[in-house]
Each structure stands twice: as C-alpha cells, then as structure tokens.
Amino acid sequence: FNIFACSGTTPRDLKSLRARYTIARSDQALSEYASSVLKEAHKTLQQAERVAATAQTDRVPELMLLAHKQIDDAYQIASNQMYQELQERRQSALEAGAYRQALEKQSATIVTFNEFTAQKTNDFNLNETPILLEIPSTELFKEHSAEIQETALSGIQKIVRLAQTKPEIEITIEDHTNEHEITKQDQKLSTQRASTLLQTLRSLGLLKNRIEYKAHGNRFPITENNTALGKIENNRVELYFRQKALL
C-alpha cells in the first residue's frame, strides 16, 4: 500500500522540496537578510517529512505548500532588503559626491599626517588656501575605539603648536567611519572620537573658541567600502585649518 498515493504527493515531491531548501540555505543573501524565515521553512519541511512517514499523509501537501511559500517569502525579503540597500548606497554616493564637490570649492591643500609631522610649522601657509589634514583613524585611535594612540600624541601636539603660532586660524575636526558597524554605532563612535580629539587639543592649550567638531559617521565615504583598502581610506579624521572669517 502506497501512503503517498492517497495524498497526491510523492517522495519525489518531498525530495524536490528538500533540494530547493538546500539551495536557498546556501544563498548568502537569504542567510543574511531572511534567516528567520528560512528557519521556519526548514521546520515546516521537517514536519512534512515526519508526517509523510506516518499514515496521516493528508497534511503533507499543506505543509509542503507552506514550506514553498516560506522559501518564496525569504527570497522576496532578501530581494527587497538588497534593493533598499542599493538605493541607500546610491543616495550615499550622491551625498559623498556633493561632499567632495564642497571640498573642491574650498580649494583646500590636502596634506597627509606623515607629511604634516615631517614639515616645520613655519612651512604651512594659510594665507591663500585652507589646509585639509587627512589622518587615517588607525593612526589616531585604537581600533574601534575613541582612545587616542600614544604614538599620535607628537602629531597632535604639533597641531596645537601650529595653531598657537598662527592665531588667525581656526580648526574644524570632521570624523568619518567606514560602515564596520551598524549606522547607530558608527555615529556614536564618530561622535566619541571627534569629541575626544577636540578635548585632547584643548587640554594641550588650544583655545575653546578656535576649534569645533563634526561627526559624520559613515555618510561620506571617499571610496568603496567593499575592500580592505577602501575601509581604511574611509575610516578617517579630517582637520581643516582655515583663517577666521571676518565679521
């Protein structure tokens, strides 16, 4: 007596469903965006297989249909989430483009941290253009932290000396993260780092009214975040040295 004959479901149908689930489980997007729905599909599939081994096979088609629907839902959820992230990346790219255009309009002279520490304070001329000092966050802070690296202190002290010898300038700290964490954590870390650097500069003698900070989080990448080098470049601190605006 074939128990599958009564339900209209064959062992091949269950095997096909199992194969479909296996393919879905190996899909990285589904694992990332729809893992909970995929787990429910697995439970339903296992239940269908258990019921198929009993005499109550009339429930098997219903369970199989549900499992197929759950797998379909997982694909749809993953697709929707990926589309949303794509739109967010496009928006982020537009914002980043506008951000870089704003920098270009300022006509700032871009200097790396190594170049800055190697030059003498008197070598910097702020009469014509602002100076943008770009510093990889790893050179200033401990990894995923707002704690200042001891090796960065000499460079930070030089920033203060430059400001003290040029009382006509003001400094803006702009901190950027690289999407290593979720957005809220990125923003929190960015704020903590910028605030810590500001407080350190003040503690070394920089006057309060000559410095401010902005924490951008991961909103303004300067390159893609999908490579190790890109993450390093985006995870940065920018210091702008400008002449004070005349009132």
More confident residue, 11 or 99: 11
| Res 184: pLDDT | 58
For the chain, the residue count is 247
Average pLDDT score over the chain? 80
Domain assignments of the chain as residue spans, ordered by start: 11-85, 107-243
| Res 20: pLDDT | 93
Threshold 0.75, pTM exceeds: no
More confident residue, 245 or 17: 17
| CA 65 to mean position of chain CA atoms | 38
Q: Where do runs of H (alpha helix) occur along 107-133?
A: 113-118
Q: Which two tokens stand for residue 203?
A: 């503690």
Residues pairing with 133 in the sheet: 111, 239
| pLDDT per residue as tens digits for the range 84-106 | 776 666 666 556 666 565 555 55
| Res 36: pLDDT | 93
Amino acid at 202: R
First to last CA, the chain: 96
| pLDDT per residue as tens digits for the range 105-141 | 555 677 778 788 777 766 666 665 678 888 888 889 9
Residue 41 has pLDDT above 70, yes or no: yes
CATH topology for 107-243 is 60s Ribosomal Protein L30; Chain: A; (3.30.1330)
Q: At what angle do helices 11-25 and 60-106 cross, to 10 degrees?
A: 20
Mean pLDDT over residues 209-221, rounded?
A: 84
